[in-house]
Every structure is written in C-alpha cells, then in structure tokens.
C-alpha cells in the first residue's frame, strides 16, 4: 500500500521562502507529484519527480530522494496567491497493472503580508 | 492542451434520488479516467479507475452498485450516485490520463483534473 505524510499547516510571510516536506512509504514507485489546490477547486499540477534530485520551475522547485522516501516542494518569493493546499502524490503500480496516484492529506499554506 | 471538464459544477438533490456527473477530456483521448472524492479538509480519495470499454475498478470500501461508472467513449466517463444520501455530499473530482508518449508534464501518462462537482444531498 501507500502511506504519505506531510505537515497539516504552515505559515509564511510574503516574499519569504517555504519548504513543504513529504515522506512516503510505497509498495511500488513510479513518480512523485506536487499539486496546488485552492479551496473549492480541483488540484493543478506543479511538479513531477521520478529521479533523485532537484527540479526547478520558476518560483517552485521540487526535490526527491527515492532511497529516503522523501520529497520537498520549495516555494520562493512567496505571494499572497500562493495561499493554498499543497498535495504530495505518489504514483504507484497496482496489482492490476494500472498506475494510480495516492494523495497525501495536503499542507495548508497561509501566506501573510 | 489536456483540458478536462466536468458537468455539473454543483448540484443539490434530495435524498433518495440519483445524480449523474460527466467528465470529459476535451482535446485528447483518455483511455483511463479516475474518480476521486474529497470531503472538507481531507485529501482526495480515489474511488475508482475507469477504463474505456471495460468495467471500472473500484477501491476498497466503495460500493460499485451505488457509484455507477460508465466509460463508453475515449472522451467521456460518467459517475452516477444512486439513491443519494446526505453522507454522499462531497466534492467529486475526475481526472483523465494522457496516453503514454504524449508530450506533457510527466513524460506522458499524466493525469489532468476536472474542475470538480460539488454534490449536496438534502
């Protein structure tokens, strides 16, 4: 099965940097995703890691260590609009052969002025 | 590209009635679509995996006779909540998976989410 842990809430100030951690245990691993979800809306894709290392995309970066079952999402130059829930999701291969995403409970980030 | 729509965006129904939610991939063919449910302040929980032309695969604890899934074409999957009860009130989100090899965010095989359907059962 899959087990994904991430902090429930984080707070930060505008312009700062914040790191959201995610740890996972999985029976099969085929990639880790980060999604952003604003209240009442569907998740939107932020990043994808399948190999160890850092993936940078503008103000957002994501890191993966497969041996440690660990990832983080780094948000730089925080803006008020970054206040949202950030979901860590692991893609695994089920016994049926299909791949599926398992989501963590999300980290609610509140950015204050 | 890779846009997924859902209809309706919100619905209110009376207890005991059935509600159908549509999920469409607008600019790509999705052989696989997924249905999730999200309760307030909870994560997305996968309900079922829908494959075009075959029966859906339901996750443990999800009643297949209550949540009917039909994936009759490569661009449309429907979820019907039968005999809805107040405890079925939730945010239902579908996602569609792009075919492997399609240029995308994760080497193909990426899931794109619909905007969600908020169901309230009174």
In this prediction, residue B51 carries a pLDDT of: 85
Q: Rank A40-49, A72-81, B71-80 by mean pLDDT and report only the highest.
A: A72-81
Question: Does B34 lie at the interface with A, CB-CB under 8 angstroms?
Answer: yes
Mutation target among A42, A47, A93 for the B interface, most CBs of B within 10 A: A42
CB B120: neighbour CB atoms within 10 A? 13
Task: Give the minimum alpha-carbon distance from A43 to chain B in angstroms, rounded to a whole number.
Answer: 7
DSSP symbol at B100: B
DSSP string, A13-41: ETT--EEEEEEEEESS---EEEEEE-TTS
Contact flag B44-A43 (C-beta cutoff 8 Å): yes
The token duo for B59 is 């996750």
pLDDT in tens, B59-116: 888 999 999 999 888 899 999 999 999 999 999 999 998 765 555 455 545 778 999 9
Please name the residues between 82 and 121 in chain B that touch chain A, using a CB distance below 8 Å. Answer: 91, 93, 95, 105-107, 109-116, 118
Contact B116 A31 (CB under 8 A): no
The model's confidence at residue A4, banded by pLDDT at 50, 70 and 90, is very high
Residues from chain B that touch A42, judged by Cβ atoms under 8 A, are 93, 113-116
Q: Which residues of B touch A99 (CB under 8 A)?
A: 109
Round to whole Å and give the CA distance between B32 and B50: 6
Q: Averaged over A62-68, what is the pLDDT?
A: 96
- Per-residue model confidence (pLDDT) at position A66: 95
Q: What are phi and psi of B39, to 5 degrees?
A: -85, 160
Percent of chain B residues past pLDDT 90, beyond the cut? 58
Region B9-35 average pLDDT = 93
Q: Please tell me the distance in Å from A41's CA to the nearest CA on chain B.
A: 6
In chain B, which among 38-57 make CB contacts under 8 A with chain A? Answer: 42-46, 49, 51, 57
Q: Is the dihedral of CA A9, A38, B44, B119 positive or negative?
A: positive
How many interchain CB pairs under 8 A, A with B?
47
CA distance B92 to B47: 10
Return the exposure string of B20-34: e unless at least 16 CB atoms fall within 10 Å of the residue's CB, then b: ebbbbbeebebbbbb
Minimal CA–CA distance to B121: which of B11, B37, B41? B11
CB proximity list for A39: less than 8 A, separation 6 or greater: A84, A85
Question: B24: closest CA among B47, B4, B42?
Answer: B4
Nearest-angstrom CA–CA distance, B62 and B46? 9
Does the pLDDT at position A108 exceed 80?
yes
Residue B101 to residue A31: CA distance in whole angstroms = 16
A43 CB neighbours in chain B (<8 A) are: 44, 93, 113
Alpha carbon distance B52, B18 (integer Å)? 23
Tally of CA atoms within 13 A in the half-sphere of B63 that contains its CB:
8
- pLDDT confidence of A95, banded at 50, 70, 90? low
- pLDDT-derived band at A41, boundaries 50, 70, 90: confident
Check CB contact under 8 Å for A100 and B49: yes
pLDDT of residue A1 exceeding 70, the answer is no
Residue A82 has pLDDT above 90, yes or no: yes
Average per-residue pLDDT in chain B? 88
Say if residue A96's pLDDT is above 80: no
Q: What pLDDT, on a 0 to 100 scale, did the predictor assign at position B29?
A: 86
A44: confidence class by pLDDT, cuts 50, 70, 90: confident
């Amino acid at each position: 099965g899959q087990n994904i842990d991430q902090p429930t809430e984080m707070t930060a100030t505008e312009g700062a940097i914040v790191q959201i951690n995610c740890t996972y245990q999985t029976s099969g691993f085929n990639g880790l995703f980060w999604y952003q979800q604003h209240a009442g809306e569907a998740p939107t894709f932020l990043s994808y890691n399948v190999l160890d290392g850092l993936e940078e995309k503008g103000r957002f970066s994501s890191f993966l260590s497969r041996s440690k079952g660990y990832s983080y999402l780094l948000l730089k130059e925080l803006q008020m609009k970054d206040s949202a829930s950030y979901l860590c999701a692991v893609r695994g291969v089920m016994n049926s052969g299909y791949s599926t995403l398992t989501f963590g409970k999300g980290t609610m980030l509140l950015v204050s002025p | 590209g890779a846009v997924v729509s859902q209809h309706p965006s919100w619905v209110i129904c009376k207890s005991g009635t059935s509600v159908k939610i549509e999920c469409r991939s607008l600019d790509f063919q999705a052989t696989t679509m997924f249905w999730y449910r999200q309760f307030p302040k909870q994560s997305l929980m996968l309900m079922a995996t829908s494959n075009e032309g075959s029966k859906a695969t339901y996750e443990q604890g999800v009643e297949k006779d209550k949540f009917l899934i039909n994936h009759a074409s490569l661009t449309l999957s429907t979820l019907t909540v039968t005999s809805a009860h107040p405890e079925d009130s939730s945010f239902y989100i579908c996602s569609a998976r792009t075919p492997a090899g399609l240029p995308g965010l994760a080497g193909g095989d990426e899931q794109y989410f619909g905007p969600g359907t908020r169901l309230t059962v009174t």
